[in-house]
Amino acid sequence: MKKINLKSYTDFIVEKTTQLLNIDSPTGYTENAAKWVKDEFSKLGFETKLTTKGGVIIDFGGKDKENGLLLEAHTDTLGGMVATIKSNGRLQLTNLGGMNPNNAETENVRVVTKFDGIYEGTFQLNNASIHVNGEYNNIKRTWESCEVVLDEDVNSKEDVEKLGISIGDIVCFEPNVRVTKSGYIKSRFLDDKLSVGILLGFGKYLVDNDITPDRAIYGHVTVFEEVGHGGCSSVPSGCSEAISVDMGCVGEGLSCTEKQVSICAKDSGGPYNYDVVKGLIAAAKKSNADYAVDVYPHYGSDVEATLRSGNDLKHGLIGAGVYASHGYERSHKEGAENVLKLLISYIC
């Protein structure tokens, strides 16, 4: 495969990822992000549609409609929901997806009311002043031991209710997006908005180079992945294969780094299709993409939900390496570029 300069596409991926990261979209509150995703793929000239569940289907084109490939990514993120309005005017939350209070403590949040606008606050330990709370270091951080302190003059449950805040309101955590001079991308929710940016970069590459793939290629940007059923439905007719483009795991015992594309051989749901894994490795080698093959100990993906819902498909999972998953995550431009190289080599 001839060497291709992908720097402009990597820059495009980072630009679009940053824009999407700054649109709040915890599971259950994804309409704004899905509309943005639909509009961005439409601007590139692709046919798009919203699913009833709120996801986005993209038709990347392709010749063989009976051997289609579905690329799945997700734009829903972790977050919180108001579970209790406390008598002191603070909010107790329940998590949306795998949000962990240990790494959410002290984060700024936005409480999205159903009818009365958005209010800011901070997620704190109950009785958070170290100079007051002698047990500060010993308290286990849980959803019961932490609370949202609203940036409003409220001191009672009634004060909060007068603002229009009620049980079931969505709570969005600040992503804190940073892109360093050295190429690192830091933010909450790179899982999986970085992959949506990569699919946009892949689409732009097809358009710029006037490429029609040999097989039909579709995208599905799902909105319920973090709670397990994002990829259960809306598989386009004729698809025989589906690949989740999600984050690659970086951590102790794994070989992937943030600068690589990770190819998952097995996760908590079992092994991925052997032929697909082999094909992805071969495509990575062909394109000189820097890659790693790993087994993820605690992981599930959209494509597994697709299979569990009864679809007869081969399946695979790839993604840019992401450190500190479900926390304040970090990846690198080179990781995104290596995913793009692999997709181009595997499909084009």
User: Which positions are annotated as active-site residues?
Assistant: 225
57 token code pair: 């289907």
As beta bridge partners, residue 47 has: 59
Closest by Cα among 203, 190, 166 to 41? 203
CA distance 143 to 156: 20
69-79 residues labelled b (16+ CB within 10 A) or e (exposed): bbbbbbbbbbb
Give DSSP secondary structure letters for 126-187: TT--TTT-TTGGG----TTTEEEEESSS--SHHHHHHHT--TT-EEEEP---EE-TTSEEEE
Q: How far is CA 59 from the centre of its chain?
A: 20
194 token code pair: 């970085």
Q: Please check whether residue 52 is in contact with residue 198, taking contact to mean a CB–CB distance below 8 angstroms.
A: no
47 token code pair: 């046919």
